Amino acid sequence: MTTAGGRKIAIHGDEDIGAHVRIVDVQEGSSDFMTEIGSYETRPQVSVHNVMAVGDLGLITYYQDGLRILDLSDPENPQKIAHYHTWNGVAEGNGLSMFEGAIGVDYDNADELIYLADTHQGLLILRLEP
């Protein structure tokens, strides 16, 4: 849960083919309380895995589509502002499951670092730069 664009919101990610991110209004007393107000999707063939919100940012792992970072300042119209691909495609030892690639994300506020876990590349440490 975060406050983005002056609204209390949560982001939720489905996990399966056709999965996408849903932005939900969680401001008690709001006319939109607990309803989807926005969404984001890469490709229908790729699933969401982990999601987190930090201020106006949404950080999402999308297995083979890597990390996506969304600007949530207008929660009804989230915009991709950055991405990081980890997937090298189908090769020996990978490509056997839709559940391979970027699987975990965490954000360190103090150092402004993004920790990205990937099934084949291990732990990646990234920084979002303007």
Q: What angle do CA 128, 129, 130 make, to 5 degrees?
A: 125
Closest among 125, 109, 17, 123 to 62, alpha carbons compared: 17
Domains of the chain: 2-127 (2.130.10.10)
pLDDT > 70? residue 91: no
Local confidence band at 120 (pLDDT 50, 70, 90 cut-offs):
confident
pLDDT > 80? residue 49: yes
Q: What is the mean pLDDT of residues 45-49?
A: 88
Please indicate whether residue 77 or residue 47 has the higher confidence score (pLDDT): 77
Closest among 11, 22, 118, 128 to 65, alpha carbons compared: 118
Local confidence band at 69 (pLDDT 50, 70, 90 cut-offs):
very high
Q: What is the mean pLDDT of residues 51-71?
A: 94
Spatial contact of 4 and 56, defined as CB atoms under 8 Å apart:
yes
**Mind listing the pLDDT tens digit for each residue in 3-34?**
998 899 999 988 888 888 999 999 888 787 88
